Amino acid sequence: MGVDYSQLHDPNAEYTMRDLSAETMQVTRERGGGRDIEITDIQTTMIDGNFPWTLVRIYTDAGIVGTGEAYWGAGVPELIQRMTPFLQGENPLDIDRLTEHLVQKMSGEGSIAGVTVTAIAGIEVALHDLAGKILDVPAYQLLGGKYRDEVRVYCDCHTEAEADPEACADEAERVVEDLGYDALKFDLDVPSGHEKDRANRHLREPEIEHKAEIVERVTERVGDRADVAFDCHWTFSGGSAKRLAKRLEEYDVWWLEDPVPPENHDVQREVTQSTETPITVGENVYRKHGQRRLLEEQAVDIIAPDMPKVGGMRETRKIADLADMYYVPVAMHNVSSPVATTASAHVGAAIPNSLAVEYHSYELGWWEDLVEEDVIEDGYIEIPEEPGLGVTLDMDVVEEHMVEGEELFDEA
């Protein structure tokens, strides 16, 4: 028998002075209208997709169940099990208080960043699905209503010959013409054959020219039929990133993503302010506090939080509000299943500065089979009007694609 993480001992969690539980806060007044509901359990199931997605389910004494998803990664299910006792008996409608309650309870275990925040985010997404079902409203309504009926999707593209500019251009044209997307992204941190040392982050001129050739071929091939972004995955030094971004200024680049490692904001600011090429970062910076300096110091042209990673739906809304103060658009990074992808779309519908939501699974034939509804059509997600997130897990598909050793959720 494995460890029961819900029973771990942590004095910080047990004796915190800022306990935000309903009992401590004396949030006990009857609500009426079927809104007096308590959380009874939280369960997870990990799916073996192109990433190991952690699906989350929250159960209640009313028989209503909410489904969410945390960003993939080891340790997330254990952390969710660890937090389950903190929410049992709570009313799931108090999403903001419960999220802050978990942040405070888990402060000793790192709730300012990393997988602890990601685990909280998975619960928070499930709370939105659950609250929407209880109140009979779609999740975007809980975030303030909507600005748009559908959200644009950008397709993260790949090819077996990822370093071949012509192969990338061929794939770009196929995705636009055959799959119907008008927004794409390709990787630029691909081997060029000119590398001398993969560890020092330095780009030699032949490497820069190789990357520029990929950008040139792809952008010229699709023309004005699609916007194209390019991802660097935090690979290059500050000086190399500046030179690369400067070299790409002559092309129609939607954005250049994560050209330098995420830890040093000063270098990030210098890179962004050195070029006319739009720079996008944000998926590896957690919660609104982590995004603050990027925005206040104008170290980013487009902010890219990953909703089920950086803190959840309301946290992403808060990041978007902060970004809007600096007139910065939001392009949500996303490598999720249809559950969190749809949840990100609800956020995208509810914020004024939404640019697009990423789709990273176009090569996975059964991605959309995981839910009963259609999710992406012609490069857009139409925002569901059903209560909650508006997607229903196909439990047969879930069971078929579970990570080996995982157990299926209990019946709703």
Domains of the chain, residue spans? 5-137, 143-386
User: If one looks up domain 5-137 in CATH, what number appears?
Assistant: 3.30.390.10
pLDDT at 109: 84
Helices (H) and strands (E) in the chain, counts: 15, 13
pLDDT at 11: 72
How far is residue 42's CA from residue 123's CA, in Å, rounded to a whole number?
8
**Identity of residue 6:** S
pLDDT (tens place) for every residue of the chain, 412 residues total: 478 888 887 776 666 668 888 888 888 898 988 899 999 999 999 999 999 999 999 999 999 999 999 999 899 999 999 999 999 999 999 999 999 999 999 988 888 889 999 999 999 999 999 999 999 999 999 999 999 999 999 999 999 999 999 999 999 999 999 999 999 999 999 999 888 898 999 999 999 999 999 999 999 999 999 999 999 999 999 999 999 999 999 999 999 999 999 999 999 999 999 999 999 999 999 999 999 999 999 999 999 999 999 999 999 999 999 999 999 999 999 999 999 999 999 999 999 999 999 999 999 999 999 999 999 999 999 999 999 999 999 999 999 999 999 999 988 7
**What count of Cα atoms within 13 Å lies in the side-chain half-sphere of residue 266?**
0
**pTM reported for the whole predicted model:** 0.95
Angle between helices 287-296 and 313-325 (to 10 degrees): 20
* 40 three-class SS: strand
Q: What is the largest CA-CA distance in the chain?
A: 69
pLDDT at 119: 97
How far is residue 330's CA from residue 333's CA, in Å, rounded to a whole number?
9
- Residue 224 neighbours by CB under 8 Å, 6+ apart: none
Fold matches, 5-137 and 143-386: no
pLDDT at 294: 96
**What count of Cα atoms within 13 Å lies in the side-chain half-sphere of residue 87?**
35
Assigned superfamily of 143-386: Enolase-like C-terminal domain (3.20.20.120)
CB-count exposure of residue 252 (10 Å: 0-12, 13-18, 19+): middle
Angle between helices 338-350 and 313-325 (to 10 degrees): 40
